[in-house]
Amino acid sequence: MTPFFFISFVTFLLLLLFSFISNASPTALVAPIQLDAATSLYTMKLVPPSPSGNSPIMLDLDNSNLWRDCADPVLYSSPSFRPLLCNETAACAAAQTCSSNICGSAGCYGTCNEAGLTYPTCSNYTCASWASITAIRWSMGTAVWRDTIALPSTDGRQVLSKVTIPDFAFLCTDDTLLKGGEGRLPPGVVGGTGLSRNPIALPSQISSKIPTISRKFGYCLPSSTTRPGVIFFGDGPYVFKPDIDVSTRLRYTPIISFSKEADSYFLDVKSISVAGVPLGIDSSLLTIKRNKTSRSYVAGTRFSSSVPYTQLTPSIYNSLVSEFKKAAIAQKIKEVAPISPFDLCFDASTTNFSRVGYNVPQIDIALKGNGKSKTEKWQIYGANSVTKVNRDVFCLAFQPTDEYESRSIIIGTYQQQEAFFQFDLAANRLGFVPSLPLIGTGCSDFSFT
């Protein structure tokens, strides 16, 4: 054997070994995220042979379960489709840990025929849990099944080979949920996915089945309705064109635990300011607490994937509107008559536009940082604070909460667009990069091809 041949043979073996290792132990999986223009809701896609096939499913942070409509238009079937039985007690308990305000109590089915329940929303001796769509506040109790799901792996720069995960627990519904949302959901959706911290939710189920993938996920919601954004399951790097790894730029704030609604993510907002001026916020509105009279838990901040514009309790909202108006007028931006559903609008010809949107007063949300007094600022520029309603007018893109909302602040998706968020479930913290355009990239700049 000549030395050259020997060396290239060894190199070949090493390459083979390396590609085997990288395929066998992926560190991250990846999927595209799409914004639907009509509903302002986001969807994501798994790849075949997942139960959702090539179809989109709702992206839902406040939810635990992956589900699909298994009855309509055709009965779902696959060779590896099987029920999660009641006697698989640990897996069944994990599938039942839904604790949002839209879940009921979970249980187990006995025999379906006798109870008049229909397949596959019921199956004999099968574990039952709750499927829901947060955006329309609908849910239904139904049977838990198992089948293979698949997602492409990634090294954070490009899409690598497909990874299949057998025996993934998911829920089968009939058409009740999707019918309930008819006209209010993105076209073509066949189900939804849960991204909560619960063990059955996509991030935790993936990392428990593939130990090389850590229990965290990062997403970047696009502002474009034509170019997809991206969700990563696992660790960075998360690289966007032209070669910007956003995982090196994350700032962190704790994810607050609130066991009554363990399916949702809560943050600790310390203050909000406009052009450097802090809003006069009653600090009791910023922490979740029990109201003894109404016996409910009120106040605090929820991070949402289904509310488009950030909602603020009326006192905070009014304070933001008045401070933003004052600062905009000081900047010679001309106020015009409001256009519904917004309350504060401006003449677009009276300010300039840059890569971070209209040049309007900057809004800063100060989030709890590391250490007692430290905060991390989330800067919100024009691209995320105001929205263009017609050729001549843009409006402040925030809304007041309605009377049914218990939280003081619901962070909406418009404010999250073109920013990057990493939900580190093991460390209970949210990493964020406020504006990708400011660092020369965007959510649609991950290379899927």
Smallest separation, CB 421 to ligand NAG (Å): 30
Least separation in angstroms between residue 349's CB and ligand NAG is: 8
Query: Contact region for ligand NAG (CB under 6 A) — 17-25, 67-75, 336-344, 350-358?
Result: 350-358
* Nearer Cβ to ligand NAG (262/298): 298
CB atoms within 10 A of CB 248: 11
Q: Which of 96, 120, 121, 124 shows the shortest CA–CA distance to 110?
A: 124
Of 263, 247, 305, nearest to 59 by C-alpha is 305
Q: Which span sits near ligand NAG by CB under 6 A: 30-38, 100-108, 109-117, 378-386?
A: 109-117
Rounded to a whole number of angstroms, the minimum distance from the CB of residue 153 to ligand NAG is 31
- In Å, the largest CA–CA distance within the chain is 86
Question: What residues form DSSP beta bridges with 206?
Answer: none
Q: Is 98 exposed, middle or buried (0-12, 13-18, 19+ CB in 10 A)?
A: buried
Is the Cβ of residue 275 or residue 427 nearer to ligand NAG in the bound state?
Answer: 275
CA pair distance 267, 254, nearest whole angstrom: 7
Q: How far is the CB of 330 from ligand NAG (least distance, A)?
A: 13
DSSP state of 446: S
CB of 87 to ligand NAG, least distance (A): 4
169 binds ligand NAG (CB under 6 A): no
SS3 187: coil
- Name, in order, each residue with C-beta under 8 angstroms of 373's C-beta and a sequence gap of 6 or more: none
Q: Supply φ then ψ for residue 148, to 5 degrees.
A: -80, 135
Check residue 294 for interaction with ligand NAG (CB under 6 A).
yes
In this structure, what token pair is assigned to residue 80? Answer: 């590896």
Q: Select 85 or 172, whichever has its Cβ closest to ligand NAG.
A: 85
Residue 341: cis peptide before it, omega within 30 degrees of 0: yes
Please state the closest distance from residue 75 (CB atom) to ligand NAG, in A: 13
Instruction: Identify whether the C-beta of residue 190 lies closer than 8 Å to the C-beta of residue 172.
Output: no
Q: Is 283 in the site for ligand NAG (CB under 6 A)?
A: no
Closer to ligand NAG by Cβ: residue 23 or 113 = 113
Contacts with ligand NAG: how many residues (CB under 6 A)?
A: 15
- Give the span between the Cα atoms of 275 and 415, in whole angstroms: 17
**Counting contacts by CB under 6 A, is residue 352 touching ligand NAG?**
yes
Got the DSSP string for 390-440? Answer: SSSEEEE-EEE--TT--SSEEE-HHHHTT-EEEEETTTTEEEEES-TGGGT
Binding range to ligand NAG, per CB under 6 A, among 33-41, 303-311, 312-320, 347-355:
347-355
Nearer to ligand NAG, 182 or 402 (CB): 402
What's the min distance (Å) between Cβ of 313 and ligand NAG?
11
Which is nearer to ligand NAG, 175 or 282 (by Cβ)?
Answer: 282
Cα–Cα dist 252/430, whole Å: 6
Q: Rule CB under 6 A: say whether 118 interacts with ligand NAG.
A: no
Range 296-325, binding ligand NAG (CB under 6 A): 298
Token pair, residue 254, equals 């704790």
Task: Provide the terminal-to-terminal Cα distance of the chain, rounded to the nearest Å.
Answer: 40
With binding defined as CB under 6 A, does residue 350 bind ligand NAG? Answer: yes
**Which of 77, 259, 283, 293 is in the footprint of ligand NAG by CB under 6 A?**
293
Residue 405 CB, nearest distance to ligand NAG (Å)?
Answer: 13
332: left (phi over 0), alpha (psi -120 to 50) or beta: left
Distance CA 207, CA 195 (A): 13
Q: What is the number of alpha carbons within 13 Å of residue 25 lying toward its C-beta?
A: 6
Task: Give 40 or 124: the residue with its C-beta nearer to ligand NAG.
Answer: 124
User: Measured from the CB of residue 354, what is the shortest distance to ligand NAG in angstroms?
Assistant: 9
Cα distance between residue 235 and residue 242, in whole Å: 20
8-state DSSP, 27? S
88 binds ligand NAG (CB under 6 A): yes
| Shortest separation between residue 112's beta carbon and ligand NAG, angstroms | 6
Query: Which lies closer to ligand NAG via its Cβ, residue 348 or residue 425?
Result: 348
In the bound state with ligand NAG, the residue whose beta carbon lies nearer, of 109 and 170, is 109
Degrees, nearest 5: CA angle 304-305-310: 50
Residue 124 contacts ligand NAG per CB under 6 A = yes
Stretch 418-447: interaction string toward ligand NAG, x if CB under 6 A? ------------------------------
Q: Binder to ligand NAG among 8, 80, 111, 390 (CB under 6 A)?
A: 111
Binding site for ligand NAG (CB under 6 A): 85, 87-88, 111-114, 124, 291, 293-294, 298, 350-352
